[in-house]
Amino acid sequence: MAWNVLIVLVTVASMELIATLAHKYIMHGWGWGWHRSHHRPRTGWFELNDLYAVVFAVLAIVLIALGTAGLWPLQWIGAGMTAYGAIYFIVHDGLVHKRWPFRYIPRRGYLKRLYTAHRLHHVVKSREECVSFGFLYSPPVEKLQAVLRNRQAKSASPDAAKDPKGAAPVSPREN
C-alpha cells in the first residue's frame, strides 16, 4: 500500500513537469491551434483548449484500466494523473480563471504567487514570449515581471524602450 501511495505522489509531482513542458512546447508550439482559445476571451462554457484535458483524462483512464487488469503499477500512475487533473481543475480553472463559482482571490503567499504568475502568462496574447508555463509552480513574480519588461523594451515601440518599467506587461488583471 505504501508503494502505491508513493507512486501516486511521485506521479502528481511528475505531472507538473510533464504539464509544464507540454504547455511550453506543445500548447505554445505545434498545438497552438487548440490552445489559442485559452488566450482569448471565452464565449461559452467550453473552449477548444479543453481537449487537452480530455486527452490527459483518456490516458489516465487507459492506465487505470491496464493497471486493474494486472499491469501494476499503471493504475496508480493513472490515479496520480487523475489527482493532478483535479488539483489543476481547482487551481487553474477555479482560482485563476473563475470558470466555476470560486470567487476567492489570494492576497498573499503561495496561492497569490501562483495566481499572479498565471495572470502574467496571459498578458502576452500570442504564443511567443509568454512566461510561467507551470500550473502548480511558478518562478517568483518579480522575475517574471522583469522578463516581460525586458521583452517589451526590446520588441515594442521606441517609447517603450525609453521606459523599461512599461505598465502593460506587469498588470496581471487581464484574462
One domain, residues 65 and 119? no
One domain, residues 64 and 11? yes
One domain, residues 26 and 69? yes
| 22: pLDDT strictly greater than 80 | yes
One domain, residues 13 and 71? yes
SS3 63: helix
| Cβ–Cβ under 8 Å, residues 141 and 117 | yes
| 26: pLDDT strictly greater than 80 | yes
| 174: pLDDT strictly greater than 80 | no
Of 67, 96, 125, at which residue does a domain stop? 96
Residue range 133-142: average pLDDT?
Answer: 95
What CA–CA distance (Å, rounded) separates 121 from 27?
13
| Cβ–Cβ under 8 Å, residues 23 and 135 | yes
One domain, residues 84 and 127? no
User: Average pLDDT over the chain, rounded to whole?
Assistant: 90
Helix ranges restricted to H, 22-157: 32-35, 51-68, 74-88, 109-121, 141-155
pTM: 0.85
As for how many domains the chain has, the answer is 2
One domain, residues 142 and 166? yes
∠ CA 6-86-48, nearest 5°, is 130
Residue range 127-137: average pLDDT?
Answer: 93
- Higher-confidence position of 166 and 159: 159
Of 13-27, 32-46, 160-174, the poorest mean pLDDT is in 160-174
Torsion of CA 88, 43, 36, 22, to 10 degrees: 10
Instruction: Give domain status of residue 102, yes or no.
Output: no
One domain, residues 114 and 82? no
SS3 67: helix
* pLDDT the model gives residue 172: 52
Instruction: Give domain status of residue 104, yes or no.
Output: no
List the domain range (segments joined by +) for residue 143: 110-170
One domain, residues 92 and 117? no
| 48: pLDDT strictly greater than 90 | yes
Residue 158 pLDDT level (bands cut at 50, 70, 90) = low
One domain, residues 28 and 61? yes
- Higher-confidence position of 56 and 165: 56
One domain, residues 82 and 122? no
Would you say the C-alpha torsion 23, 73, 10, 64 has a positive or negative sign? positive
One domain, residues 65 and 37? yes
Of 41, 63, 96, at which residue does a domain stop? 96
What CA–CA distance (Å, rounded) separates 148 from 119?
12
How many Cα atoms within 13 Å fall on the side-chain side of residue 29? 8
* pLDDT the model gives residue 168: 45
Instruction: Give domain status of residue 59, yes or no.
Output: yes
* pLDDT the model gives residue 155: 80
Q: Find all residues with CB under 8 Å of 50, minimum gap 6, and list them.
A: none
Instruction: Give domain status of residue 103, yes or no.
Output: no
